[in-house]
Structure formats: structure tokens, C-alpha cells
Amino acid sequence: MQTPTMTATGHQLPTALEPRNPGMALDLEWVRSAQANTSAIERRAKTLPGRRSVKKDYQAAWLCRAISCIDLTTLSGDDTQGRVQRLCAKARQPVRADILDALGMQGLTTGAICVYHDMIETAVDALAGSGIPVAAVSTGFPAGLSPFHLRVAEISESVKAGAQEIDIVITRRHVLQGNWQALYDEMRAFREACGEAHVKAILATGELGTLRNVARASLVCMMAGADFIKTSTGKEGVNATLPVSLVMIRAIRDYYDRTGYRIGYKPAGGISKAKDSLVYLSLIKDELGDRWLQPDLFRLGASSLLGDIERQLEHHVTGHYSANYRHALA
């Protein structure tokens, strides 16, 4: 990274708005032509952590940008209203006020809050007036194996409850069987059920078998109208990885080159360190350019990442690292 995406003395940029991807007819020739050179992709991915290095003010600026792109997430069976309210308070004030003041970053917030359907109303109330959207996981998350009509109905109910973004899960067997028409039809129905709410298509890449399948599933979901494509639910054995990210990002670039529509990208699961967020930001900058470094086109799905970023920012300001418990999320 040679230049920061946001200066440490600036303010968070307002969310930019792109023309929404309307989708297109399923182009099976394009889908079947998509390939993935696994060895080349893995070699490229291995170089990423060491190719870019930012220090001091530049690093602080990039970490602030990462915060603005976080989908702060709680998806646990023991979620309570109190936990969600505390998480929303953290989204509004992601870093201690004195640190933000020192950085000149007052007003910085996370990109969104992501919860189960049952906690949408609580999150919407807690975020009122903040401009922070609520994202809800849907369609039988995380397995996506509930009856189809119930998955569609779940989307509708979440939109009615106030969710502005819906994270859906695809049926993995459609990809594993190469049934691209079925995947397209499913994704199209989910997109229609979302209405004005933006839809993130979770591919669950750790369960798709090959990088070629990831590339093809990415294209099909975008053709069906996905606003974002997302790596994982966070519940799979393998979640976001750099090789998978490279494949999905290049599919996004290919789709943009052919259609003129920018699709967002969200890696999720296993991203817990500040240095990891810098690698993903540098990958986006290298492959897609600065425009994709805005929260309307890039999100980091994470629950513990923010705490580590806050520690790094405190060290930048004070010269000292604090204990993890001083930056608890909830």
C-alpha cells in the first residue's frame, strides 16, 4: 500500500451509492468458461501478507477504514437483547472517544450490525438515528436446508422487521452438482423477496469443493442480482481465505468489466487480527481499486476483529498496548 484510503486526520466518508445490480439472464457459456488455476492462485495468495506494509499514520488510517467496513456480528444461540444493545452501542462508538479525538476521527462507526431475525427489532431500535444499517442472516442460515417457501418467507419477515441488508445462504448441492439454473432461480427468488433491501449471497466456499466452483457460483449469483457476494457463514470448518477471496474478487472484476455494475465483496469468518484486515484491504485495492474500499462495496464479517484494531490504534496514539479486556465488545 503506497497511499492510505483515508487520512488519519479526516472523517469517515459518507456511504457512496452505486446503481443497483439488476442481474441478467443466466449465461451458461460464460459460467462454464470460468476456470481457476489453483496453484497460481495459491502462489499469489502466499505473497499477499508480505507484499504490502504500512506504518504509523498510514496504518492508523487504514485501520480506521477497516472499522468503517466491519459488519459487527453476533450470531449465537445465547444472544440476548442486552448483548445486541451493547453491540449496537459499540457500532456507534467503535473506539474510545479519546483515541478518536487524537486521530481526528470523531463520528467513525462500523459498516453495519449483523444479527439473527429475532434480534432485528432490538438492533433497529438501538441504532435509531445513527445511519448504521441492520443486516439479518436468513434462508435457514447457516445450512440453508429448510423448505424453500419458508426461506423466502423468512427474507420477507426480516425486511418487514427493518433489516436493510439480508445475508442469504445458497444451496450448496446446486453448485456441487453443477445445476447452475437451479442456483440462478433460487438466487433470483431471494433477490425479489428482498425488495429494496440489499442482498449478500453467502457461498459457503469451504463446502464448494474447488476454486472453480467458487468462481462459477460467484458469477451465477451476480447474474441473478446479488448486491454482494460473501465467502462464508462463519460456521463452516473453513471460512474466508485469501485464495478464495482472490477468485471471488476477480469474478467481481470480470462482471463489472462486462456489465458495468459493481458488486460488493464480504469475507467472513476467521478474520480476527488487525493485520488480517490490512491484507484484505490491500488485496481489494490491488485487484479492484480504491472505489471498492467503501462500505457500500466492501465489508468484513467479524465479531472480534474490532477489539484488536482498537488496541492497535491505542498503541499508535499512546505508545502502549492495553489489555484485551479494556476493549470488550459486549
DSSP code at position 1: -
Nearest CA to 92 out of 75, 77, 70 is that of: 70
**What pLDDT was estimated at residue 15?**
52
Cβ distance 8 to 103 under 8 Å? yes
**What pLDDT was estimated at residue 49?**
85
Cβ distance 15 to 294 under 8 Å? yes
Residue 132: pLDDT band by 50, 70, 90 thresholds?
very high
Average pLDDT of 292-313?
95
* Alpha-helical segments (H) within the chain: 28-33, 38-51, 56-68, 81-92, 97-103, 120-126, 148-160, 172-176, 180-194, 211-223, 242-259, 274-287, 305-318
Identify the active-site residue in 71, 167, 276, 308. Answer: 167
Average pLDDT of 213-232?
98
Quick one: cell of 43? 502462489
Identify the active-site residue in 266, 276, 296, 308. Answer: 266
Nearest CA to 62 out of 271, 230, 249, 285 is that of: 285
Average pLDDT of 120-134?
97
**What pLDDT was estimated at residue 324?**
67
**What pLDDT was estimated at residue 320?**
84
* 97-113 tens-digit pLDDT: 999 999 999 999 999 99
Nearest CA to 111 out of 283, 264, 233 is that of: 264
* 159-198 tens-digit pLDDT: 999 999 999 999 999 999 999 999 999 999 999 999 999 9
Quick one: cell of 12? 469517515
Number of neighbours of residue 68 by Cβ within 10 angstroms: 23
Backbone angles phi, psi at 163, to 5 degrees: -70, 130
State the chain's maximal CA–CA distance in angstroms: 56
Residue 220: pLDDT band by 50, 70, 90 thresholds?
very high
Average pLDDT of 309-326?
85
Question: For the CA atoms of the chain, what is the radius of gyration?
Answer: 19
What's the CA gap between 164 and 159, in Å, rounded?
A: 7
DSSP code at position 151: H
Q: Answer yes or no: is pLDDT of 13 > 50.
A: no
Q: Look up 308 and say whether it is catalytic.
A: no
What's the CA gap between 158 and 115, in Å, rounded?
A: 11
Q: Answer yes or no: is pLDDT of 60 > 50.
A: yes
The backbone region for 64, taken as left when phi is positive above 0, alpha when psi lies in -120 to 50, beta otherwise, is alpha
**What pLDDT was estimated at residue 16?**
58
Identify the active-site residue in 90, 200, 230, 285. Answer: 230
Which pTM value belongs to this model? 0.93
Average pLDDT of 39-65?
89
Percent of the chain with pLDDT over 70: 92
Helix (H) or strand (E) run with residue 265 in it = strand 264-266
Nearest CA to 67 out of 109, 17, 14, 9 is that of: 109
The DSSP secondary structure of 186-203, one letter per residue, reads HHHHHHHHHTTSEEEEE-
Q: Look up 266 and say whether it is catalytic.
A: yes
Cβ distance 217 to 181 under 8 Å? no
**What pLDDT was estimated at residue 52?**
62
First vs last C-alpha separation in the chain? 33
Q: Answer yes or no: is pLDDT of 14 > 50.
A: no
* 231-268 tens-digit pLDDT: 999 999 999 999 999 999 999 999 999 999 999 999 99
Q: Look up 296 and say whether it is catalytic.
A: no
The DSSP secondary structure of 266-320, one letter per residue, reads E-BSS--SHHHHHHHHHHHHHHT-GGGGSTTTB-EEESSHHHHHHHHHHHHHHS-
**What pLDDT was estimated at residue 155?**
98
Mean confidence (pLDDT) of the chain = 92
